[in-house]
């Protein structure tokens, strides 16, 4: 089979052995082969099959996905070698790492080369995702609470300040959501191009893996979201002062360089600390500054730490789950450096730190006793910690659920803290 894939003026082709299974075509190629570049540019590809009849070709088109390393799919290896036994020796002799390609055709044609005529012999009903729907999915709206909670916390900590400008709060919320959305899109684009995101793992939107949006269009989309956030930042700087630009610039650069640029810091084991700072203290303090005009309110700084620890815990749960696949893709994370048991301990300490800090702030009267309302979320966090500690290995179903539940804990804990602080401010 000859497969051709790419985007724009750049296309790559390769000839490979294949086998058909469950209405899909499967093949193995070198991880560094040019055709892999084409697949990562666009998941739509065309193929041609010559089965010993040079005048008649079977051609088609479909979506292509990189399923991961050769050994990650023993079921496919067994099915492939049962039809082509000699491939076992070929794979063993290969000096380069191999990956699986899955082609899901949406149409076949039989073409007579002599006459130049073709006829469609098969067409599937693969769902065509509209650009609007693909664009919405790429945003990963479910993650937006990670941006809303720190902004809400910064706002409630500003209650009672002199010269407050509450009219600016909607702009801050919108800018935070645009930064979060832009980071999500760029992260998915880069992870897809690097082969980190595949149909076998979770935590991504899926629009690039399934071909609903090309990586090139996704990159432009992410840049546009960052651009919109930057325009709001400039407007707030005009209204409130140039200090807004410093907060906005750090957030913008931090969001893009998470995976973008020559080498995203996510791949250098810096993601945990960066997410803690960007989605915790930076957003909380930045929101308070826009509303009050004051930047170093130490009460705001200390109160921002619990949500920072919990948003970092979301990433830690993700990295714990993807420990093996990240290593295979060459992604360096703190979980990878600590090992499975060490990464579990890191997660538990992050969750525990959020509660300990709130108790310390209440005891020292930095915040009101009403902030202890966060203790109502212990029925969520305690079973969650037990699930993580009991997980037998990376990639287990328990850890897949742990990341989602940690995001829910972050939302519930943050909402309880905001409500508690608001009640305390109202009663003061």
Q: Is 177 helix (H, G, I), strand (E, B) or coil?
A: helix
Q: What is the CATH number of the domain that holds 23?
A: 2.30.110.10
Q: Shortest CA distance to 203 belongs to which of 353, 318, 343?
A: 318
> Is the Cβ–Cβ distance between 335 and 344 less than 8 Å?
no
Measured distance CA(348)–CA(345) in Å, rounded: 5
206 and 83 in a single domain? The answer is: no
Q: What is the dihedral of CA 155, 161, 166, 172, to 10 degrees?
A: -40
Instruction: State the distance between the two ends of the chain, measured CA to CA, in whole angstroms.
Output: 74
76 and 149 in a single domain? The answer is: no
Q: Is 356 helix (H, G, I), strand (E, B) or coil?
A: helix
Please tell me the total number of residues recorded for the chain in this structure: 428
**pTM score, two decimals?**
0.74
240 and 116 in a single domain? The answer is: no
| Two structure tokens written together for 81 | 């070698």
Q: Shortest CA distance to 42 belongs to which of 4, 3, 5, 2?
A: 5
> Is the Cβ–Cβ distance between 362 and 369 less than 8 Å?
yes
Orientation of helix 334-363 relative to helix 298-321, angle to 10°: 150
112 and 150 in a single domain? The answer is: no
106 and 178 in a single domain? The answer is: no
| Two structure tokens written together for 420 | 């508690």
46 and 64 in a single domain? The answer is: yes
261 and 355 in a single domain? The answer is: yes
pLDDT of residue 392: 81
pLDDT of residue 311: 95
Q: Within its chain, how far is the Cα of 166 from the centroid?
A: 32
64 and 164 in a single domain? The answer is: no
Measured distance CA(180)–CA(349) in Å, rounded: 25
Q: Which of 123, 148, 171 is the last residue of a domain?
A: 123
Measured distance CA(320)–CA(396) in Å, rounded: 10
Q: Which of 94, 123, 152 is the last residue of a domain?
A: 123
93 and 178 in a single domain? The answer is: no
70 and 174 in a single domain? The answer is: no
Range of the domain at 345: 131-427
117 and 159 in a single domain? The answer is: no
Measured distance CA(317)–CA(306) in Å, rounded: 17
The secondary structure of 25-77, three-state, reads EEEEEECCCHHHHHHHHCCEEEEEECCCCCCEEEEEEEEEEEEEEHHHCHHHH
Bridge partners, residue 192, by sequence: none
| Two structure tokens written together for 115 | 């006459």
Would you give per-residue pLDDT tens digits along the chain (428 residues)? Answer: 777 776 655 667 778 778 777 677 888 888 777 777 777 776 677 777 765 555 556 777 777 888 778 877 787 888 787 777 777 777 777 777 888 888 877 766 666 655 555 554 444 444 556 788 888 989 998 889 999 999 999 999 998 887 888 999 999 999 999 999 999 999 988 888 776 776 556 667 778 876 778 888 899 999 999 999 999 999 999 998 888 999 999 999 999 998 888 788 888 888 899 999 999 999 999 999 999 988 767 889 999 999 999 999 999 998 888 887 777 767 788 888 999 899 999 999 999 999 999 999 999 999 999 999 999 999 999 999 999 998 888 877 777 788 889 999 999 999 999 999 999 988 87
For residue 104, count other CB atoms closer than 10 A to its CB.
18
> Is the Cβ–Cβ distance between 174 and 188 less than 8 Å?
no
Q: Which of 87, 102, 123 is the last residue of a domain?
A: 123
Measured distance CA(360)–CA(372) in Å, rounded: 10
For residue 342, count other CB atoms closer than 10 A to its CB.
13
| Two structure tokens written together for 263 | 């080498």
Number of folded domains that form the chain: 2
Burial group, residue 296, by CB count within 10 angstroms (0-12, 13-18, 19+): exposed
289 and 325 in a single domain? The answer is: yes
């Amino acid at each position: 089979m000859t497969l051709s894939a790419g985007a724009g003026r750049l296309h790559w082709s390769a000839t490979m052995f294949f086998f058909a299974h469950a209405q899909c075509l499967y093949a193995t190629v070198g991880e560094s082969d040019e055709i892999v570049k084409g697949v990562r540019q666009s998941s739509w590809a065309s193929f041609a099959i010559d089965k010993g009849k040079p005048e008649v070709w079977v051609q088609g088109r479909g979506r292509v996905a990189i399923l991961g390393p050769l050994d990650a799919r023993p079921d496919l290896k067994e099915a492939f070698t049962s039809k082509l036994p000699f491939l076992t020796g070929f794979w063993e002799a290969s000096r380069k790492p191999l990956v699986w390609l899955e082609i899901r055709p949406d149409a076949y044609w039989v073409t007579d080369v002599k006459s130049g005529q073709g006829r469609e012999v098969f067409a599937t009903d693969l769902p065509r995702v509209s650009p609007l729907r693909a664009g919405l999915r790429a945003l990963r709206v479910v993650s937006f609470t990670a941006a809303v909670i720190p902004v809400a916390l910064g706002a409630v900590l500003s209650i009672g300040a002199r010269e407050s400008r509450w009219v600016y709060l909607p702009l801050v919320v919108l800018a935070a959501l645009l930064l979060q959305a832009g980071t999500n899109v760029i992260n998915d684009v880069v992870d897809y191009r690097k082969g980190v995101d595949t149909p076998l793992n979770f935590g991504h939107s899926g629009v690039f893996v399934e071909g609903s949006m090309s990586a090139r269009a996704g990159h432009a989309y992410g840049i546009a979201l960052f651009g919109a956030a930057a325009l709001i930042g400039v407007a707030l700087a005009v209204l409130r002062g140039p200090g807004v630009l410093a907060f906005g610039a750090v957030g913008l650069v931090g969001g893009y360089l998470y995976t973008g640029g020559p080498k995203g810091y996510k791949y250098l084991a810096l993601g945990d600390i960066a997410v803690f700072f960007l989605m915790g203290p930076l957003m909380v303090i930045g929101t308070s500054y826009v509303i009050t005009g004051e930047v170093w309110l130490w009460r705001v700084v200390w109160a921002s730490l619990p949500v920072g620890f919990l948003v970092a815990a979301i990433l830690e749960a993700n990295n714990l789950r993807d420990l093996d696949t990240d290593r295979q893709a060459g992604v360096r994370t703190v979980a990878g450096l600590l090992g499975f048991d060490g990464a579990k301990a890191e997660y538990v300490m992050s969750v525990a730190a959020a509660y300990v800090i709130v108790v310390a702030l209440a005891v020292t009267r930095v915040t009101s006793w009403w902030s202890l309302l966060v203790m109502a979320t212990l029925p969520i966090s305690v079973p969650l910690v037990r699930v993580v500690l009991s997980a037998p290995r990376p990639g287990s179903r328990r850890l897949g659920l742990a990341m989602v539940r940690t995001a829910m804990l972050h939302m519930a804990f943050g909402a309880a803290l905001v409500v508690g602080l608001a009640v305390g401010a109202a009663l003061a």
